[in-house]
Amino acid sequence: MPNQGKKFPDCFELNGADCFLFQLDRIMLQTSGRNNVCTFVVSLKHSIELSELELYLSNNPAYQWITRLRIKKGLPFSLVKWVFDETLAFPEIKQFYSEKDESIAKNLLATTIRIENQSPFKVDLIQVLGAKSILIFTWHHVLMDAHGGESFIRALGLNQSIDYAELLAEEQTKLPLGLRANIAQEMKNFLHETSQLPLFSLYKKPAAKQNTPTLSYRVISFTEQQTIKISETARLQGASFLLSAFYLAATTCSVAYIQQLRGLIEGDVLVPVPLDRRKRGIDTPVIGNQVTFLFYRIPEKVLSDVQACTTELISQMKTLMRTDSPKHYLIMMDFLRRIPGFFYRLILKSPTKGLMASFFYSDTGESLQNYDQLFDQSVESAIHYPPTMYPPGLTFVFSRFRGSLQITLGYMEQVINDKEVDELFKHLQSVLLGAENND
């Protein structure tokens, strides 16, 4: 798979975003017993035999390499690394059977991966009796982001080679240490101010210790015509071509609507939004999280007005981009890589007393637009199931598959119940399509 002159690396350091997500993984284990794991589910139009899938993967050098990576932590203030161990066995590809179309067992969407001693990437196969196959790709978020995961899976499924230079990002030239330290401190101060309490959330701290929270998922899909209508609605609400701002505004107002059904809303909404650093149309590098973040604090006064919320988000986005906030957050993440984990997690949790966000949101863009073939089979659908942190226990992922918008909601049942999820999606669909066009 790589150039013949260069082999895959035996070890490499985590970048700043990787380390950030590694510390989130530690927090998630403490609060919910779950790992920071990404899941990508691809439904094929026809079935694929387990032996055929195993043959594809066992002959792929990239799969052989990536499944035998393990996290190695050194002494305090040293960098965490991925280390390749050729003596390790490949993870078993487990096969399951289902009588129902697209029936995915909950336990397959709640996989834990302990990256110190388990493969960071695994594949499961569901055979829908008499119909088709469903492939479940699971990887630890520290290894790669959603975009990188999609690119890697596409390459596996098409038996394509990835040039060595496309696998890992080149080390960027760094600013002088003193300047980076000042930028990191300024960003830390900005985040502390942005995350001042009170913050709005559906999560309420329980009076007594509860059992491990239960994670569930719900998916809503729109037709191609409905997706066009949603884009028209976004422009009418002032989003122009910044569709993601409208998506986030609609989501924010819909979550606030559920709180209105419960009682009064208290506090502003805090939402960190991941920003892909890859150039538009470029799928590489694959390994390592190529993201930074935008941090929005949405005032309580606009939480019931989608247009006002959209306008506020666009205004904040312009300010954040103009002040180089994404670049500065990237510098801060890189600067914090050597901080011992306990202090790193304390920095993350202390401003908000552990809440960290009102909910989590991401938009994967158009990356699934041409996801047509995988392992010589036609692809019927492809859906991301995101990791969900508790608290706040609520995560939304917007994606587009062949021109049609789809939304995946990951939620903890202790935060929002199934009836409220029904109401949330009903309200969100109405807002996205326009109140009079929700059929």
Helices and strands, number each (H, E), in the chain? 12, 15
Q: Are residues 185 and 304 in the same domain?
A: yes
Q: Is residue 98 part of a domain?
A: yes
285 in the same domain as 197: yes
User: In terms of residue numbers, what domain contains 296?
Assistant: 178-373+387-433
Instruction: Give the residue-averaged pLDDT of 139-155.
Output: 95
Output 210 or 3, whichever has higher pLDDT: 210
Residue 69 DSSP SS3: strand
Verify that 141 and 240 share a domain, yes or no: no
pLDDT of residue 1: 37
Question: Span 401-425, mean pLDDT?
Answer: 96
**Does position 438 have pLDDT exceeding 60, yes or no?**
no
Query: Are 20 and 104 members of one domain?
Result: yes
Does the pLDDT of residue 248 top 80, yes or no? yes
Q: At 133, is the pLDDT very low, low, confident or very high (cuts 50, 70, 90)?
A: very high
Residue 87 pLDDT greater than 60, yes or no: yes
Q: Clarify whether residues 194 and 134 are in a common domain.
A: no
Look at residue 140 and tell me if it is in a domain: yes
pLDDT at 3: 39
Q: Given 123, 144, 167, which residue is the final one in a domain?
A: 167
Residue 2 lies in a domain: no
pLDDT value, residue 102: 56
Of residues 158 and 433, which shows the higher confidence score?
433
Q: Is the same domain home to 407 and 304?
A: yes
Residue 93 burial (10 A CB sphere; 0-12, 13-18, 19+): middle
Rounded to an integer, what distance in angstroms lies between the CA atom of residue 72 and that of residue 87? 16
Residue 291 sits in the same domain as residue 328: yes
Taking only the tens place, the pLDDT of each residue in 273-322 is: 999 999 888 888 999 999 999 999 999 999 999 999 999 999 999 999 99
**Residue 297 forms part of a structural domain:** yes
Distance of CA 321 to the CA centre of its chain: 21
CA–CA distances in Å: residue 363 to residues 74, 180, 281, 397, 434: 35, 29, 15, 6, 20
Are residues 163 and 226 both part of a single domain?
A: no
Q: Indicate if 88 and 108 belong to the same structural domain.
A: yes
Average pLDDT rounded to a whole number, residues 118-131: 92
- Mean pLDDT of the 55-68 span: 92
pLDDT at position 301: 97
Considering the domain boundaries, does residue 379 fall inside one? no
- Of the residues 167, 197, 222, which one is the last residue of a structural domain? 167
Q: What residues contact 64, with CB distance under 8 A and at least 6 apart?
A: 58, 90
* Residues 231 and 139 occupy one common structural domain: no
Is there a single domain that holds both residue 78 and residue 213?
Answer: no
Per the model's pLDDT, the better-predicted residue between 4 and 390 turns out to be 390
Asked whether residue 1 is domain-assigned, the answer is no
Predicted pLDDT at 165: 64
> Residue 103 has what pLDDT?
58
Could you tell me the pLDDT band of residue 347, with boundaries at 50, 70 and 90?
A: confident
- Residues 215, 328 share a domain: yes
Identify whether the C-beta of residue 70 lies closer than 8 Å to the C-beta of residue 115: yes
- Average per-residue pLDDT for the chain: 91
What is the predicted pLDDT for the residue at 101? 57
Q: Does a structural domain hold residue 380?
A: no
Q: What is the per-residue pLDDT across 217-245, written as a single tens digit (0 to 9) for each? A: 999 999 999 999 999 999 999 998 899 99
Q: What per-residue confidence (pLDDT) applies to 352?
A: 78
Q: Of the candidates 132, 167, 202, which is a domain's last residue?
A: 167
Task: Please tell me the total count of domains within the chain.
Answer: 2
Instruction: Evaluate whether residue 126 is within a structural domain.
Output: yes
pTM reported for the whole predicted model: 0.94
| CATH number of the domain where residue 109 is located | 3.30.559.10
Q: In this structure, what are the phi and psi dihedrals at residue 340, rounded to the nearest 5 degrees?
A: -55, 145
Domain harbouring 393, CATH code: 3.30.559.30
